[in-house]
């Protein structure tokens, strides 16, 4: 066991507010540490700092060899085994070691003999994790390994990590997954690192208690500030009336009235200064509480009762059928979840509905004429440039785009950052905001929760409950599916 020490850590990207301010932390290498926090707060940046990939002020002390997920695969045309070994050139690693870890993970080692580019997102996650844990004497930094994993895959990986003896830091927005694998929680809360013992649920319970106490304190302080402000204003009005008596009464003893006004003004200024000090002191005691605003949706209800029909639809790539023929219908106020294992073709089906699938489509996809569809894509690398350019490209009201991004928790300073330079969570919020602002009669979302924090997830759940829009979606978070889906449609492999 070794100790990782952080002292007086300060970091900010150029032109942006600080992510970390004078942070101090000690943790042990045998801990299974969950790293959580709102999007854009610096989770990935902190992992990069630990690896020495970012310049910072302060001191980070560690003798550990860090191994980072995701691996950087430079040649995806290679067989998976070769591509994975090439991604770890400094490790004395052999393929049999990866095969051993895949066996422990419950994954067929035959994946290593397939071209890497043919693996699904979930399969890539599993073979990369096996490659990392095949490395000896490493401390693992796992950045969002649950993205692209289906529910069985998340359970599979959770069981694998739970039996590992080595420590790691892991980021994920799946609370159930974190509860199964971590024993400490590190939260980035407004420029500070807050460490607690226990899993994510234990942290959430403690934070809710802290927030409730802070909100009660804030209500009391705001009431006192309002009362003090009113008293200060009243004092100033008394002085102004006394001065007015002097100016408006030409027949009165102006000397007497002037002395009276001066005395009143002097007393009022002294009182106002004391009230100002009291107001400032109470404002300094106000605590920051994470507030989450409700989202809005530019939903335009259609006249049609049926918004989308799939009749015996199946897909094939190079003559290889992906799944059994599928029949389903999306009606008004229905939310259908496409469920099935990784690699079965759920995202391909969404591409086929959008007319972007490169393989063969059999059966009938019926989208009534005039029905406008708003998509959340799984791949949105085409979102580039400034937010103003993005708004112009998609005919979105710029002010509403910024307002919605603020509701999603994006800092104003990020508005000046090119989209391609934003964090993955911030980029996802831009893609989501585009969908929410686009006038539509039907919504099709492909893994909308990827990279979004738990606050955003709850916002989306409440949004769907409030508007009940016709929705077809793919998601692997069971909590979200249970909360919003009126029907679950299985996509069954052959």
Q: What is the pTM of this model?
A: 0.72
The pLDDT of residue 257: 53
> Residue 376 and residue 420: Cα distance in Å, rounded?
17
> Residue 144 and residue 428: Cα distance in Å, rounded?
14
> Residue 139 and residue 481: Cα distance in Å, rounded?
34
**Which residue, 490, 473, 411, 442, is CA-closest to 12?**
411
What residue spans of 163-253 are helical by DSSP H?
A: 175-181, 200-248
Same fold, 3-206 and 306-490: yes
The pLDDT of residue 477: 86
The pLDDT of residue 263: 67
Q: Could you say which of 3.40.640.10, 3.40.50.300, 3.90.1150.10, 1.10.10.10 is the CATH number of the domain covering 306-490?
A: 3.40.50.300
The pLDDT of residue 400: 96
The pLDDT of residue 21: 93
Query: Other C-beta atoms within 10 Å of 312: how many?
Result: 11
The pLDDT of residue 130: 96
The pLDDT of residue 112: 95
Which superfamily does 3-206 belong to? P-loop containing nucleotide triphosphate hydrolases (3.40.50.300)
> Residue 308 and residue 338: Cα distance in Å, rounded?
14
The pLDDT of residue 272: 63
The pLDDT of residue 265: 62
Angstrom distances, CA of residue 419 to CA of 33, 360, 424: 30, 34, 10
| Residue 32, helix vs strand vs coil | strand
The pLDDT of residue 118: 85
All residue ranges of the chain with pLDDT < 70 are: 210-211, 213-214, 217-218, 221, 224-225, 235-236, 238-273, 275-276, 278-291
Q: Where are the domains of the chain?
A: 3-206, 216-285, 306-490
The pLDDT of residue 290: 64
Q: Report DSSP letters for 374-412, one per residue.
A: EEE-S--TT--S-HHHHHHHTT--HHHHHHHHHHTT--G
Please provide the distance, in angstroms rounded to a whole number, between the alpha carbons at the two ends of the chain: 48
The pLDDT of residue 296: 95
The pLDDT of residue 149: 87
């Amino acid at each position: 066991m070794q100790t990782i020490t952080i002292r007086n850590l300060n970091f900010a990207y150029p032109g942006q507010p600080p992510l970390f301010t004078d942070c101090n932390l000690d943790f042990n290498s045998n801990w299974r540490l969950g790293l959580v926090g709102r999007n854009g707060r610096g989770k990935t940046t902190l992992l990069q700092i630990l690896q020495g990939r970012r310049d910072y002020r302060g001191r980070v002390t560690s003798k550990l060899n860090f191994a980072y997920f995701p691996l950087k695969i430079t040649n995806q045309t290679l067989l998976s085994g070769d591509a994975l070994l090439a991604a770890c050139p400094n490790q004395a690693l052999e393929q049999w070691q990866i095969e051993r870890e895949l066996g422990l993970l419950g994954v067929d080692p035959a994946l290593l003999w397939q071209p890497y580019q043919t693996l699904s997102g979930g399969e890539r996650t599993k073979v990369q994790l096996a490659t990392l844990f095949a490395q000896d004497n490493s401390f693992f930094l796992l950045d969002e390994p649950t993205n692209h994993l289906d529910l069985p895959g998340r359970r599979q990986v959770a069981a694998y990590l739970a039996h590992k003896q080595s420590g790691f830091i892991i980021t994920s927005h799946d609370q159930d997954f974190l509860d199964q694998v971590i024993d400490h929680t590190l939260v980035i809360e407004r420029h500070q690192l807050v460490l607690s013992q226990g899993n994510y649920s234990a942290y959430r319970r403690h934070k809710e208690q802290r927030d409730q106490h802070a909100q009660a304190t804030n209500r009391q302080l705001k009431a006192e500030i309002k009362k003090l402000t009113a008293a200060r204003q009243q004092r100033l009005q008394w002085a102004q009336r006394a001065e007015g008596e002097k100016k408006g009464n030409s027949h009165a003893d102006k000397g007497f009235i002037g002395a009276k006004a001066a005395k009143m003004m002097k007393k009022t200024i002294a009182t106002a200064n004391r009230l100002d000090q009291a107001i400032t002191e109470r404002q300094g005691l106000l605590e920051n509480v994470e507030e989450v605003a409700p989202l809005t949706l530019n939903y335009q209800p259609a006249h049609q009762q049926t918004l989308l029909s799939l009749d015996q639809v199946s897909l094939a790539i190079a003559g290889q059928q992906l799944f059994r023929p599928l029949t389903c219908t999306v009606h008004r106020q229905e939310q259908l979840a496409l469920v099935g294992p990784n690699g079965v073709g759920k995202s391909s089906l969404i591409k086929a509905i959008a007319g972007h699938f490169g393989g063969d489509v059999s059966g009938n996809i019926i989208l009534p004429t005039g029905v406008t569809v708003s998509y959340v894509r799984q791949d949105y690398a085409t979102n580039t440039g400034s937010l103003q350019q993005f708004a112009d490209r998609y005919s979105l009201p710029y002010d509403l785009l910024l307002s919605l991004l603020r509701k999603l928790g994006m800092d104003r300073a990020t508005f000046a950052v090119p989209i391609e330079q934003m964090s993955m969570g911030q980029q996802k919020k831009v893609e989501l905001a585009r969908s929410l602002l686009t006038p539509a009669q039907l919504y099709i979302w492909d893994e909308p929760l990827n990279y979004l924090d738990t606050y955003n997830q709850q916002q989306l759940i409440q949004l769907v409950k409030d508007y009940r829009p016709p929705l077809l979606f793919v998601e692997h978070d069971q909590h979200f599916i249970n909360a919003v889906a009126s029907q679950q449609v299985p996509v069954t492999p052959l």
